[in-house]
Amino acid sequence: MKFLLEGVPAVVLGCLIQGVVRVILLPGAGLADGGAPADIPAQSIPQDLRMPNTPLWIRFDDDWEVVRVWRRQEGEW
């Protein structure tokens, strides 16, 4: 059974390893209000969306592979 995680909110933390962009999934959620860190292949994120603090939506498939990344508007959640 295939499924998609539609529009998971994320925020770019930075590029800490070459070819990988670290993001925070579900920012503002969780015990410490910090979300969950995740490493996304850089080629999955458009170049203009890789700057730190850029709000994103990320669509994943059932294997947690990135299907699509697009900009989240401020205040959208």
Q: Are 39 and 21 in contact (CB under 8 A)?
A: yes
Q: Is the pLDDT of residue 1 over 60?
A: no
Structural domains of the chain, ranges and CATH numbers in brackets: 4-71 (2.40.50)
Assess whether pLDDT exceeds 70 at residue 76: no
pTM: 0.83
For residue 57, the SS3 value is strand
Burial of 12 (0-12, 13-18, 19+ CB in 10 A): buried
pLDDT tens readout for residues 9-63: 999 999 989 999 999 998 887 666 678 899 999 999 999 999 999 999 999 988 8
